Amino acid sequence: MQLTLISLYIKPQTKITIQQWIQFFNKLPKPCLITGDFNAHHRSWGCDFEDLYGKNLLEAMDQCNLVYLNDGTPTLVNYTGSSKSAIDLTLCNPEIHHLFSWCVLDDPHGSDHLPILINCEIYASEHSTRSHKIWRTEKADWNSYKENLERCIAETNYERFVENINMAAQASIPKIHYSTNKRKQRNFKPWWNDTCDQAVKTRKEAYNDICIYTQKKTFAQCTSELTKIMEKVHTWTQQNGLNISLNKSATCVFNRKRIQYPATIKLGPYNLVNKNTVKYLGLFLDRKLLWKDHIQHVIKKNRELNQHHKVHGELTQT
């Protein structure tokens, strides 16, 4: 099956009429899968309200016989707890709708939009082997590619536009043979290294660890402000089907005074535990910000690392 894949982005408040949408949809080869940030709100695909952009898009879809894969799940990360937004849409022709499964993933990967996973229910034969050519981008002449592309980028016809891109690539990028045999496929990524692993780890920690703090003149003002914020957090998590681990959540009052102020902050019906030291993004923060606990943690880790090197060195010598 030949499938046309379209990825697009529509700027917020871009006025696109029904007729303009129809003209765009009719130019696409069928069957097609269209996905992207449409910035169009409608209750049909999961928004809390409807606007003119969403109404125009839905009317054009009906006239062009297109359906959406969205299941009503919000696709925009909303930390304010206000209206739900599902502006990242996936459209297709009804005859191929049954071939796809659609779901929203939990990790935004640093974006304010949640990623969407689309699976296609088409399986090749287990023992099928085909050999074809793929672009060898590491040997590409990108200057030549740019020059060839600039001469033909203004083409408005879709099929001619795609043809021009392929011609520019064929003139500037060599190809190599590639087999689809599963036994011959390589799963490793040559560009992935330890820096990439650390970046992914740091991003996950930053997303999973959330710090909410406030600074006021009095302790009572801080408590009042945090209580209001946690009420919004609890409401937002309930609306989006998320849970916050109470075992990993705590409050800490930072000050240099001898008097300790036990804060009574609630997450829904539960009181958060008061601690003198909390861990955030790998740092141990004590209530007086003297860094004693963090220094002791680093010393302990260094001792364990030195012991590991000693053992490894002895084994290597043996």
Asked if 179 and 256 sit in the same domain, the reply is no
In a domain, 173, yes or no: yes
Q: How confident is the model at residue 19 (pLDDT cuts 50, 70, 90)?
A: very high
In a domain, 201, yes or no: no
Q: What is the DSSP letter of 96?
A: G
Average pLDDT (103-121) is 87
Picking from 185, 202, 231, the residue at the C-terminal end of a domain is: 185
Q: Which residues of 214-234 are buried (b: 16+ CB within 10 A; e: fewer)?
A: eeeeeeeebbeebeeebeebb
Asked if 246 and 264 sit in the same domain, the reply is yes
Winning range, highest mean pLDDT, from 8-17, 106-115, 179-188: 8-17
Average pLDDT (288-297) is 87
Q: Which of 306, 293, 300 is nearest to 252 (CA)?
A: 293
**Total count of domains within the chain:** 3
Asked if 6 and 115 sit in the same domain, the reply is yes
- Whether the per-residue pLDDT at 314 is higher than 60: the answer is no
Asked if 83 and 24 sit in the same domain, the reply is yes
Q: Are 250 and 263 a contacting pair, CB within 8 Å? A: no
In a domain, 174, yes or no: yes
* Triad 103, 192, 119: Cα angle to 5°: 20
Total Cβ atoms within 10 A of residue 235: 13
In a domain, 59, yes or no: yes
Picking from 122, 146, 166, the residue at the C-terminal end of a domain is: 122
Picking from 185, 204, 230, the residue at the C-terminal end of a domain is: 185
Domain holding 135, by residue range, is: 129-185
Please state, in angstroms and as integers, the Cα–Cα distance from residue 75 to each residue in 21, 110, 112, 172, following that order: 22, 14, 9, 38
Asked if 118 and 4 sit in the same domain, the reply is yes
In a domain, 193, yes or no: no
- Whether the per-residue pLDDT at 205 is higher than 70: the answer is no
Asked if 41 and 108 sit in the same domain, the reply is yes
In a domain, 240, yes or no: yes
Q: Which residues of 184-203 are buried (b: 16+ CB within 10 A; e: fewer)?
A: eeeeeeeeeeeeeeeeeeee
Q: How confident is the model at residue 183 (pLDDT cuts 50, 70, 90)?
A: very low
In a domain, 7, yes or no: yes
Q: What is the CATH number of the domain that holds 75?
A: 3.60.10.10
Asked if 291 and 180 sit in the same domain, the reply is no
What whole-number distance in Å separates Cα of residue 109 and Cα of residue 107? Answer: 6
- Whether the per-residue pLDDT at 86 is higher than 80: the answer is yes
Q: Find residue 102's DSSP bridge partners.
A: 118
Asked if 101 and 138 sit in the same domain, the reply is no
In a domain, 191, yes or no: no
Asked if 51 and 97 sit in the same domain, the reply is yes
Asked if 24 and 101 sit in the same domain, the reply is yes
Asked if 97 and 7 sit in the same domain, the reply is yes
Q: Any idea which of 78-82, 88-92, 195-199 has the lowest mean pLDDT?
A: 78-82
Per cent of the chain over pLDDT 70 is 81
Asked if 8 and 101 sit in the same domain, the reply is yes
**What DSSP element (H or E) covers 67?**
strand 67-68
- Whether the per-residue pLDDT at 185 is higher than 50: the answer is no
